[in-house]
Amino acid sequence: MVAVKPAEAESFLRRLPKTVEVLLFYGPDAGLVDERCRAALASAVPDPGDPFQLVRIMGDQLSANPERLLEEASAIGLFGPRKAIWVQALDKAVDRSVKLLLEGPPFDNLVVVQAGDLGKQSALRISCERSSRAAALACYAGGERENAALVDEMLAQSGLTIEAGARRDLVAALGPDRRQSRSEIEKLVLYKLGEKNVTSEDVATVMVDANAVAMNAVIDAAFGGDYAALDRELSRAFAERLGADPILGAAIRHVFSLAEARSKIDAGLSAAEAAKEMYLFWKREAAVARQLTKWSSAALHGALGDLQSAVRRIRRSPLAAESVARMAFWRIARHARSPAQR
């Protein structure tokens, strides 16, 4: 089975060929990987909550015993014609187990492998892409079209309609992480419980301000060198299920904005004047102006490298996302407090 193109993933899963015994989901969008795994498992067995129908195997269990996957996939279900096996291999190599499975005899059960962001040379990915009994589906961060489809789907399921302008605002407010986008739409649905129509005012109240304020609070605390605020705002953002990836992405964009403003300061503008030209929400202007006095162009280049490195680490090991992001922001805060940055 060739690799399934991202744009064709949903239609492929709705009409999953009977010859497919192994589904590999991988990619940088951990939320979408998880969502598609759960959807595939729910369509494979009547009750995914029943341990006799759905067997969960962690990657480290297969590292210790590669043959276990073959044994589970070949076993006959006790209470039905089919069971499913969910292999959660986000940070463990399970390519040997999958290779043994695909080289063995056919089986009736469905194996779903949940992996991280695999490169083209990944042995696991190559095995699944080359086997006629497997399919590999990449899960990339959602763009405007994917977020718009998710909005329409979730609001329709909740019996809600949405004004055209509100829909545009809502889609624009959603980030690239599928899990986070779904969580934010769920907040809006709960806010409109018992009502029928979503307005732009509803979106501004529940969505836009919450996401922007949370990310900006983390960023301003880090680049301002405020340890206490940074710890508080990061904990609050993660508690609200705001993913590490979108916060780091916003921080990277902030670095580029600061660098552009810093070049204007070097050309003669004051920090306050440069901050005004960044077209910030007015309440942030003073904080960002102070940041511009703390950060040189060279220091901003170093901060950019730290943030990009954190993004790459998260894509390799999504389970460590929050701790990786914390370390990156703490390094930035430490640099901001250093006189050498001025």
Angle at 323 between CA 221 and CA 179, to 5 degrees: 90
Nearest to 62 by CA among 71, 54, 50: 71
Q: Which residue has the tokens 């042995």?
A: 123
Q: What is the mean pLDDT of the chain?
A: 86
CA distance 209 to 229: 19
Asked if the model's pLDDT at residue 209 lies above 60, the reply is no
CA distance 163 to 106: 51
Average pLDDT value for residue range 322-329: 95
Helices 321-336 and 209-224, interaxial angle, to 10°?
Answer: 50
* Out of 65-74, 175-184, 320-329, least confident range: 175-184
Please name every residue paired with 112 in a beta bridge, in sequence order, or none if there are none. Answer: 23, 86
Cβ pair 324, 314 in contact under 8 A: yes
Asked if the model's pLDDT at residue 342 lies above 50, the reply is no
Taking the mean position of all CA atoms in its chain, how far away is CA 314?
9
List of E strands, 1-130: 22-26, 54-58, 84-89, 110-115
pLDDT value of position 322: 93
- 152 band by pLDDT with thresholds 50, 70 and 90: very high
Asked if the model's pLDDT at residue 194 lies above 60, the reply is yes
Start-to-end C-alpha separation, the chain: 56
pLDDT value of position 283: 66
Cβ pair 300, 342 in contact under 8 A: no
pLDDT value of position 268: 87
* Out of 7-16, 100-109, 280-289, least confident range: 280-289
pLDDT value of position 91: 64
- 35 band by pLDDT with thresholds 50, 70 and 90: confident
pLDDT value of position 25: 93
Q: By three-state DSSP, how is residue 254 classified?
A: helix
Q: What proportion of the chain, given as a percentage, has pLDDT over 70?
A: 93
pLDDT value of position 179: 78
CA distance 214 to 206: 12
Q: Which CATH number applies to 211-341?
A: 1.20.272.10
pLDDT value of position 311: 92
Reported as a single tens digit per residue, the pLDDT across 61-108 is: 888 888 999 988 888 765 566 789 999 887 677 889 999 999 989 888
| 198, burial (CB in 10 Å: exposed 0-12, middle 13-18, buried 19+) | buried
Provide DSSP, 140-160. PPP-HHHHHHHHHHHHHHTT-
Per-domain residue ranges of the chain: 6-138, 144-198, 211-341
Average pLDDT value for residue range 190-215: 82
pLDDT value of position 81: 66
Average pLDDT value for residue range 154-174: 88
Protein fold of 6-138: Rossmann fold (3.40.50)
pLDDT value of position 177: 74
Q: What proportion of the chain, given as a percentage, has pLDDT over 90?
A: 42
